[in-house]
Amino acid sequence: MTHTTTHSDHDYEQVIGEKLNDAQLRTNLRSAMDTLIHKRKDLLEDRYPEWEQLRTMGQNAKLKVLSQLDSYVQKFEENATKNGFVVHYANTAKDANEIIYNLAKERGVERILKGKSMASEEIGLNQYMKEKGIVAKETDLGELIIQLIDEHPVHIVVPAIHKNRHQVGKIFQEKLGAPLESEPEKLNGIARKHMRGEFEGFKMGISGVNFAIANEGAIWLVENEGNGRMCTTACDIHVAICGIEKMVESFEDASILNNLLCPSAVGVQITCYQNIITGPRQEGELDGPKEAHIILLDHNRSNILADEKYYKALSCIRCGTCLNHCPVYDKIGGHAYLATYPGPIGVVITPQLFGLDNYAHIANLCSLCGRCGEVCPVKIPLPELIRDLRAEKTHEGRGVVRGYKDTKHSKLEELGMKAFAKLASNGTLWRAAMAMSSTFAPLGKVFGHYTPVLKKWLRYREMPKVQGSLHAEVKKLPGVIYE
């Protein structure tokens, strides 16, 4: 997947068709999503009577920072520097990759170990390093699985959720030469043994950041396997990639968000490892990296921040629950979005990060059912933002999303909608159209001249029966004022 190519409607149709027909994928996704949904629901019912208040607090904590992001970033930089971090700014994906590459090159590092980081996916770090002759190895179990088969994460929290344990066993057998297993404990054992070997004597570790705490100049990393702790402490050089929107003001705010993150992501109160990192190894300390770097990544986030509505999307804490609850995501899986970030939040931010012209089709991948907005722990109005994205495509929005000017959208649809609006704002025309389109009134009316529509509808559904003229019947009803 490259981010600069335009993904045509045809590409999408093809990949969506493929995924929908992949019975194994569909079964795996369905059962995984059901588990995640139920674990979250049960936990919230049992333990979080004040979830709604917590959501509001989390939302406020993020919006407060976003309203003055510049100054919080600056404060973070000052405090982090005091703590001994080296803070870098990366405007583009390329900048970020170059910083990491140069750090590695200067220190003669040929192998980098990575903890889970969606930002590193966003910038295409692994590919970049590969081209430069440096191996970037994933250490997160899910990431490891998909790296072995040369895939991208299918989900932002659980990257290999589309594979079941039997499939994982096969992958380990084929790629790691392990005996064929399917028990989770045994699979974990295989991965652990493999990773232990990798961690031996490694020099440079990469991580993401969950919360960057401005008041303290510290970063907070949430994980479940301990590999993140290894990547950030057992090396000589630790580099954290941090989207600038990860900023929070204080530990208190980070704690609130952490309390929203873990239940939303995997239905637990807290994960096994919570790493709070305040800088490199200090004098007299026994472990920790000799150097600690933080890359503050913009990559078009400033554009998002500048818009009156889209800026809310930067509140995202990447919990993934909007994906878990999305009726489109659970049918097609993350790869069908042809983007780093899939699901509802992916639909919202992908065009902003990579251009709407490159991702015109992605705005269609939503039925506007509203479930994502209902579950989002920081109350991002995802459905509204997706609808606005469609308005960007039709040039009736605010004209703020990158690449909207060159975005293709259906002229046929535009004609249909214009005709529809004309009819729907004039009673006489409307009644005439209703009378005329007696064969298939609702869709005929809704889509005007957008004729292929009928065929698409009838592919999976019978024609509805038209029940005749409502007006004539209403007039006959005693007592109704027909005016």
Partner 1 sequence: MRVYFFATCLGEAVFSQTALNCIKLLQREGVEVIFKKDQTCCGQPSYNSGYYEQTREIVLHNVRLFKEDHPIIVPSGSCVGMMAHDYLELFEGHKAYEEVKNFSLRVYELAEFLDKKLEVRYTDLGAPIKVTWHSNCHALRVSKVIESAKKIISQLSNVELVPLQREEECCGFGGTFAVKEPEISNAMVQEKIHDIESRQVEYVLSADAGCLLNISGAMAKVRSKTKSMHFYDFLAQRVGLGV
315-344 positions binding ligand SF4, by CB under 6 A: 316-322
C-alpha–C-alpha distance, residues 460 and 40, integer Å: 34
Site for partner 1 contains 441 (CB under 8 A): yes
The window from 252-260, 270-278, 343-351, 414-422 that contacts partner 1 (CB under 8 A) reads 414-422
Range list of β-strands (E), 308-467: none
C-alpha–C-alpha distance, residues 372 and 390, integer Å: 17
Please count the other Cβ atoms lying within 10 Å of the Cβ belonging to residue 198.
16
C-alpha–C-alpha distance, residues 276 and 273, integer Å: 10
Site for ligand SF4 contains 353 (CB under 6 A): no
Report the residue number, 286 or 477, with the smaller CB distance to partner 1: 477
Applying CB under 6 A, among 80, 336, 380, 433 the residue interacting with ligand SF4 is 380
Residue type, 413: E
Report the residue number, 80 or 353, with the smaller CB distance to ligand SF4: 353
C-alpha–C-alpha distance, residues 168 and 139, integer Å: 15
Q: Return the structure tokens found at 316.
A: 């995202």
Least separation in angstroms between residue 204's CB and ligand SF4 is: 29
Site for partner 1 contains 480 (CB under 8 A): yes
Site for partner 1 contains 366 (CB under 8 A): yes
Residue 392 binding result from partner 1, ligand SF4, none, given CB thresholds of 5 to 8 Å by partner type: partner 1
Burial of 388 (0-12, 13-18, 19+ CB in 10 A): buried
Non-local CB neighbours of 413 within 8 Å, separated by 6+ positions: 447, 450
Non-local CB neighbours of 472 within 8 Å, separated by 6+ positions: none
Least separation in angstroms between residue 349's CB and ligand SF4 is: 9
What residues from 416 to 435 belong to the interface with partner 1 (CB under 8 A)? 417-418, 420-428, 430-431, 434
**Phi and psi dihedrals of 28, rounded to 5?**
-60, -45
Please count the other Cβ atoms lying within 10 Å of the Cβ belonging to residue 184.
11
Applying CB under 8 A, among 52, 396, 399, 436 the residue interacting with partner 1 is 396
Residue 63 binding result from partner 1, ligand SF4, none, given CB thresholds of 5 to 8 Å by partner type: none
Give yes or no for a contact between 265 and 272, defined as CB atoms under 8 angstroms apart: no
Site for partner 1 contains 44 (CB under 8 A): no
Site for partner 1 contains 399 (CB under 8 A): no
Report the residue number, 179 or 327, with the smaller CB distance to partner 1: 327
Report the residue number, 204 or 366, with the smaller CB distance to ligand SF4: 366
What residues from 446 to 465 belong to the interface with partner 1 (CB under 8 A)? 446-447, 453, 456-457, 459-465
Least separation in angstroms between residue 186's CB and partner 1 is: 33
Considering only the C-alpha atoms of the chain, give the largest distance between any 2 of them, rounded to a whole number of Å: 93
Report the residue number, 15 or 118, with the smaller CB distance to ligand SF4: 118
> Got the DSSP string for 73-109?
HHHHHHHHHHTTPEEEEESSHHHHHHHHHHHHHHTT-
Residue 33 binding result from partner 1, ligand SF4, none, given CB thresholds of 5 to 8 Å by partner type: none
User: β-pairing, 218-223 with 273-277?
Assistant: antiparallel
Applying CB under 8 A, among 1, 86, 369, 415 the residue interacting with partner 1 is 369
Give yes or no for a contact between 316 and 129, defined as CB atoms under 8 angstroms apart: no
What residues from 287 to 316 belong to the interface with ligand SF4 (CB under 6 A)? 316
Site for ligand SF4 contains 125 (CB under 6 A): no
Q: Which residues bind ligand SF4 (CB under 6 A)?
A: 264, 316-322, 345, 376-378, 380, 382
